Chains A and B, each alone.
Chain A
Amino acid sequence: AQTVTQSQPEMSVQEAETVTLSCTYDTSESNYYLFWYKQPPSRQMILVIRQEAYKQQNATENRFSVNFQKAAKSFSLKISDSQLGDTAMYFCAFAPYPQGGSEKLVFGKGTKLTVNP
Chain B
Amino acid sequence: DTAVSQTPKYLVTQMGNDKSIKCEQNLGHDTMYWYKQDSKKFLKIMFSYNNKELIINETVPNRFSPKSPDKAHLNLHINSLELGDSAVYFCASSQFQGAENEQYFGPGTRLTVT
Residue numbers in A under 8 Å from B50 (CB-CB): 100-101
Task: Return B36 CB to nearest CB of chain A, in Å.
Answer: 11
User: What 1/0 flags go to B83-114 for Cβ under 8 Å of A?
Assistant: 00000101010101110111111011010000
Bound state CA distance, A37 and B35, in angstroms? 14
Given contacts A43-B88, A107-B42, A110-B41, contact A101 B105 (CB under 8 A): no
Task: Return A69 CB to nearest CB of chain B, in Å.
Answer: 21
Question: CB distance A47 to B96 under 8 Å?
Answer: no
Residue numbers in B under 8 Å from A42 (CB-CB): 107
Residue numbers in A under 8 Å from B45 (CB-CB): 104-106
Q: Does A79 contact B (CB under 8 A)?
A: no
Q: Does A103 contact B (CB under 8 A)?
A: yes
Residue numbers in B under 8 Å from A95 (CB-CB): 101, 103
Q: Which residue of B lies closest to A35 (CB)?
A: B102
We find that the number of chain B residues with CB closer than 8 angstroms to chain A is: 33
Interface residues of A in 62-117 (CB under 8 A from B): 89, 91, 95, 97-98, 100-107, 109-110
Q: Which residue of A lies closest to B47 (CB)?
A: A104
Bound state CA distance, A97 and B51, in angstroms? 18
Task: Return A57 CB to nearest CB of chain B, in Å.
Answer: 16
Q: Does B53 contact A (CB under 8 A)?
A: yes
Given contacts A91-B43, A110-B42, contact A98 B105 (CB under 8 A): no
Question: CB distance B88 to A101 under 8 Å?
Answer: no
Q: Does B31 contact A (CB under 8 A)?
A: yes
The 6 closest A-B pairs by CB, nearest first: A101-B50, A101-B55, A45-B105, A104-B45, A107-B43, A98-B97
Query: Taking beta carbons and an 8 Å cutoff, which residues of B are in contact with A?
Result: 31, 33, 35, 40-45, 48-51, 53, 55-56, 58, 88, 90, 92, 94, 96-98, 100-105, 107-108, 110
| 21 pairs from A and B in contact (CB 8 Å cutoff) | A35-B102, A37-B105, A43-B108, A47-B102, A50-B100, A89-B41, A101-B31, A101-B56, A101-B96, A102-B48, A102-B55, A102-B56, A103-B103, A104-B33, A105-B33, A105-B92, A106-B45, A107-B44, A109-B40, A110-B41, A110-B42
